[in-house]
Amino acid sequence: MMLLSRERLRPLAGPALVALAALSASLALMVRGASCGHDFDFHLVSWLDVLHSWRQGILYPRWAPSPNYGAGEPRFIFYPPITWMAGALLRVLVPWKGVPAAFTFLIFLAAGLSTRALARHLLPAASATFAGCVAIFSGYSLFTAYERSDFGELTGSFWVPLLLLFLLREPDPSRHGLRRAFDGSGSLLALVVAGAWLSNAPLGLIASYTLAAIALVAALLRRSWLPIQRATLAAVLGLGLAAIYLVPADVEQPWVAIHQATDDPGYLIENNWFFAHHAGADMRDHDAELLKVSFIGAGMLFVTLLGAAIQLWRTSQDERRRWWFVLAFIPIAVLCLQLPISHPLWNLLPRLRYLQFPWRWLVTLGAPLAIFVAGAAGQFSRRWRTVTLACFGAAAALLSTALVFGLVFYNVCDEDDSVRGVVATYYVGDGFQGADEYAPPGVDNSIAPLGLPMACLSSSLTTVLGEGSGGVPPSWDPDQHSCDATFDTDQPTRLASQHLRIHGMVAHAGYLILRLRRYPAWQIRVNGVLQHDLPLRDDGLIVVPVPQGPLSLAMDWTNTPDVLVGRAISAIALLLFAGLWLIERRPALPQVS
C-alpha cells in the first residue's frame, strides 16, 4: 500500500515544485500587497467595472462606466476580455486585496506547468520540472508582474509555451490528410491562438507572428508541409474563435482616438531599441525605463544563446535535435528585433508597429531560456555528479532573483492608488481618469470634469462645466451656476452601465448635457423619439436638445452590426472547433497491408 501510494504521488512531485516556485515568485505581492506598476490602476478599475456590470445582469460588458470621472469609455470593446473577466471572477473567490497576488500566482503557475510540458519532449522529467521553475523566474516575467503590472501581457508566459508545444508535436504516422496535419493538436493550437488574442492585443500579434515564423522554420527542418498546414488551419480557426472581440475592436477604431496609443514619442518603435538614449528632458523617464528592460533583455538573450550553444554542441543527431534548432531560432530573432537593423521589417509587416515596444518580444523568450538552462544544467550535473549541490544552487539563484525583483521593481502604492483606496473611491461613484486612446476623436481627456451630475440643463451648447488649472482636472460645483437644473438617473448607483433612465420636468427648452461620453453604439430617446445627429462638445459629453415640459430620457447601449458579425463568426468557428475536436479524438483506423 505504501509503494502504491508513492507511485501515485510521484507524478505530482513535479507540478508541486512548480507550484512552490510560483508561490515564491509572487510572495512579495502576498506579503506587501499589490505592486502599483504602470498598468495596475487600469486593470483594477476594469475588474471593478466588470463586477459592477455583472451585478446589473450584463455578462459581456462593452462600456466601462467609471473612466472619465463617471462619463465612461468603450474600454471593453478594445481591451480583450480574458484578463478583465478573470480579475472580476477572482474577486468572487478572494477579497479585493488578494486579487492581484492571486492572479499573478495563477499566471506564474500556468507558465511553469506549460513550460514543463514543453520541456518534457526534450528533457528528463526532473530537468523539465526545473525548466518550469526557471520560466517563472525569467527576468521579463517578473519585470512585467512587478514593474508594469500588465496582467494581460503576463499571460504570454504560458500561451507561448503552449503554442510551441502544440505546433511542434510530432504527427501520428498512422493518420493521413487533415487528421495527420492536426493530429490531436490542431484544436488545442487554435484555442491557444484565440486565448492569446483574447488576453492581450499585442500578445495576440506576437503569438500570430511567432506561429508563422516557427511553422516555417519547422517545415524547413522537417522538409514537410505539415507544420505550415497545422499553423494555417489553427490560425484561421483561432482568429474565428476570437472574432467576438476582434471584429468590433477593428471596425470601431475610427470611433475613438486609437492612434494616441502609437503616436506618442515614447511609443514609437524607433525610440525603443535596446539601450537607446534621447537628449530631450521629456524622454528622461522613458529612457530610464528602457535602460532597465534593456539590461533584463540583454541578460536573458545572453543566457539563452549560451545555453543553446551548449545544448546544440552536446546533442547528438536525433529527432529531438530539430526541436533544439527551432527553440534556438527564437532568441536570434528576438535579438534582431531589438536592433535598428530590423527597422524595415517593422514597417513592412502588417500591424507590427502596434506593438509599440520591440522589447515586448521578450515574452517569447521565457520558455526557450528555461529549457536551455535546464538542459545545460542537467548535462553539467551528470558529468560532475553534483546533483544535490546543483539543486541547492539553482533554488538559491531563483529565490535570489525573486527577492531582487520583489525589492527593486516593487512599486509601493500611494494611499489613493492602493487597492483599498481605489475600491473606496469607486464605491463613492466619482470615477477615475480615462484612457486617451478610447476618447472620441478630437476630444481631450484632460478637460473631463469631476463631480458632474448625471444630466445638466443649459441654454448654451458650449457651457463650461467645471473649473481647473495647473494640470488639475476641472471640477464641477453647483455654486458655479453652470447648470440651470440638474437631473439624476433612476438607477440606485451613480455608475450606471449600459442602460440609463432620467425622468423630470424641464423648466425651459435647451440642451441636456449628460455625464456620458458620446459613442455611436448609444441609442437615445427623448419622450420616445429616437435622436439623430446630436450636437458635439469639446469634452466629448453627449448633448441632447430637449423641449420644455415633461422629460423621459432613455439611453441604451445597442449591438452595432459589426458586433453581430463578430458573434456570428465566433459561433461558426466554435462549431468547427467542436467538430475538429471530435475528429481528432477518434482513434486512427488500422492500415490494411
Is the domain of 402 the same as that of 472?
no
Which pLDDT score, from 0 to 100, does residue 377 have? Answer: 78
Of residues 172 and 465, more confidently modeled? 465
Write the pLDDT tens digit of every residue in 159-172.
Answer: 999 999 999 886 65
| Residue with cell string 512599486 | 411
CA-based diameter of the chain, in Å? Answer: 93
Interatomic CA distance for residues 169 and 171, integer angstroms: 6
Interatomic CA distance for residues 548 and 554, integer angstroms: 17
Is the domain of 477 the same as that of 531?
yes
Model confidence at 280, pLDDT cuts 50, 70, 90, reads confident
Query: What distances in angstroms separate CA 147 from CA 28, 87, 135, one per listed residue?
Result: 13, 19, 18
- 156-168 and 99-119 helices cross at what angle (nearest 10)? 20
- The 10 Å Cβ neighbour count of residue 91 is 17
Domain-located, residue 439: no
Is the domain of 274 the same as that of 162?
yes
Main-chain phi, psi angles of 319, to 5 degrees = -65, -30
Is the domain of 112 the same as that of 241?
yes
Domain-located, residue 589: no
Domain-located, residue 272: yes
Domain-located, residue 465: yes
Domain-located, residue 1: no
Interatomic CA distance for residues 262 and 19, integer angstroms: 37
Indicate the DSSP class of residue 437: G
β-strand partners of 510: 546
Write the pLDDT tens digit of every residue in 513-538.
Answer: 999 999 999 999 999 999 988 999 98
Share in percent of the chain as helix, strand, coil (round to 5): 60, 10, 30
Domain-located, residue 19: no
Domain-located, residue 317: yes
Query: What distances in angstroms separate CA 154 from CA 74, 103, 136, 202, 410, one per listed residue?
Result: 23, 10, 11, 11, 16
Is the domain of 375 the same as that of 453?
no
Is the domain of 396 the same as that of 479?
no
Write the pLDDT tens digit of every residue in 193-204.
Answer: 999 999 999 999
Is the domain of 390 the same as that of 507?
no
Of the candidates 310, 325, 306, the one whose C-alpha atom is nearest the C-alpha of residue 378 is 310
Q: How many domains does the chain have?
A: 2
Which pLDDT score, from 0 to 100, does residue 178 have? Answer: 53
Main-chain phi, psi angles of 485, to 5 degrees = -160, 155
Is the domain of 288 the same as that of 364?
yes
For residues 553 and 512, the answer to whether their CB atoms sit within 8 Å is yes
Domain-located, residue 584: no
Which pLDDT score, from 0 to 100, does residue 384 have? Answer: 45
- 366-384 and 156-168 helices cross at what angle (nearest 10)? 70
Query: What distances in angstroms separate CA 338 from CA 150, 152, 240, one per listed residue?
Result: 20, 22, 31
Q: pTM of the predicted model, to two decimals? A: 0.91
Residues belonging to the chain? 593
Could you give the 3-state DSSP secondary structure of residue 123?
A: coil
**Domain residue limits at 299:** 31-408
Is the domain of 245 the same as that of 372?
yes
Is the domain of 459 the same as that of 403?
no
Per-residue burial over 575-586, b = 16 or more CB atoms within 10 Å of its CB, e = otherwise: ebbeebbeebee
Indicate the DSSP class of residue 472: P
Contacts of 245 by beta carbon, 8 Å cutoff, 6+ apart = 80, 81, 197, 198, 566
